[in-house]
Amino acid sequence: MKSKYAIIVSQFNQEITHELAKGALSRLLEHGVSEDCVTMINVPGAVEIPLTAKLLARSEKYAAIICLGAVIRGETDHYDYVCQQVCLGCQQVMTDYDVPVIFGVLTTKNLKQAKARAGGKEGHKGRDAADAAIEMTAVVARLKSTVVCREVV
C-alpha cells in the first residue's frame, strides 16, 4: 500500500503559506510520492490546524500530516496565544493518534523573516517539513513492525 500524506495549509498570510505548500508538495513528489497520494486542505488560519489534523489522524488514512502556516508577530499578545495553541494542539494530535504531525508553522517576528524561511536565504521550511514527514513515516513503520518489550527503542 502506498503511503498517503496530508498537507494542511493556513490561508492567513497566504503569500507565505502558499509558498510553503508548493515547496512541501514538490518535495514529496521528489521523494517519489505520487500526487494522488497527497491531500491538500486549506483552513482559515493557524488556530484551525489542530482540529483539522485531528480529523485527518482519526481517519487512519495518512502516514503523516504536514501542518503549514505563518504566524507573524504584531503589536498585541495575540501572537503568543496563537503560537502556543497551534503548537500544543499539533503535538496532542500526534501523541493521541500515533501519526507524525509535522509542525511547519512559521512563527516569526516579521514578514521579512517569514519570507526568508519560505524559499529565501534561510531555506524552505515547507520542503523541510516534507522531508520530516518522509523520515518519520519510515521511523513509525519500523517501530510498529518491531516488538518492543519494556524497552525504549
Catalytic, out of 18, 31, 78, 124: 78
Contacts for 45 with CB less than 8 Å, ≥ 6 apart: 10, 11, 12, 69, 82
Q: Is 78 a catalytic residue?
A: yes
Taking phi first (over 0 means left), then psi (-120 to 50 degrees means alpha), and beta for anything else, what does residue 123 get? left
According to DSSP, the residues that pair with 69 across neighbouring strands are 105
Cα dihedral 5, 10, 11, 14 sign: negative
Catalytic residues: 78
